[in-house]
Amino acid sequence: MLPRWRGAAPVERAVLAGDATTGVCLMALEETLDTGPIYACDEVEIGRDQTAGQLRRHLTDVGTAMLVDLLAHPLPVPVPQEGEPTYAAKIEPEERHLDWSRPAEEVERVVRIGDAWTTHRSRRLKVHRACAHEITGRGVVVPTGSGPIELLEVQPEGKPRLPAADWARGARWEEGGRLGS
């Protein structure tokens, strides 16, 4: 919530940072980015497996309801933002590249912002769903810098999305194999 994550990618930055909550603020516009006084705020929990897309849709619903409610009454006096602002820079393509030397939870958060990718045998492999906190054995388990992560849904270059286990059979994936090559 403002003033945290002002900028181009507030939802993705909240997910990447591992924030437990985020929110919606209705504010007055000013010339500078996201600096206006606030009419109303509503805090929202970020689910452990929630993607940035799912979170954005939820925040849109919350914000819409807040705006309808706010406009149904006389506008309150807005209050100035308090706290140190954090800039939510645009997500660069290289930030979506999975670094398997990082902790499993960080890798999972990159997957949750969308368009995460790695390589397998020098070909791009998008990772659409992964889980670091519960290994079920139904996907592809990959080692990371601290513990395993299970890939659940992937998309090989030029092909449709599919369950990671199906991809592994077709790609002749070996248990304990590595990605990024």
Residues 6+ apart with CB under 8 A from 150: 130, 131, 132, 134, 135, 136, 137, 138, 139, 140, 141, 142, 164
User: Of the candidates 62, 88, 114, which is a domain's last residue?
Assistant: 88
Task: Supply the pLDDT for residue 178.
Answer: 80
50 domain residue, yes or no: yes
> Could you report the per-residue pLDDT of 126-168, keeping only the tens digit for each?
999 999 999 999 999 999 999 999 999 999 999 999 999 999 9
User: Of the candidates 88, 105, 131, which is a domain's last residue?
Assistant: 88
- Residues 72, 132, single domain; the answer is no
Question: 163 lies in which domain range?
Answer: 94-171
Task: Supply the pLDDT for residue 181.
Answer: 67
> CA-CA distance, 128 to 106, in Å (whole number)?
15
> Could you report the per-residue pLDDT of 55-96, keeping only the tens digit for each?
999 999 999 999 999 999 999 999 999 988 899 999 999 999
Asked whether the beta carbons of 13 and 54 are under 8 A apart, the reply is no
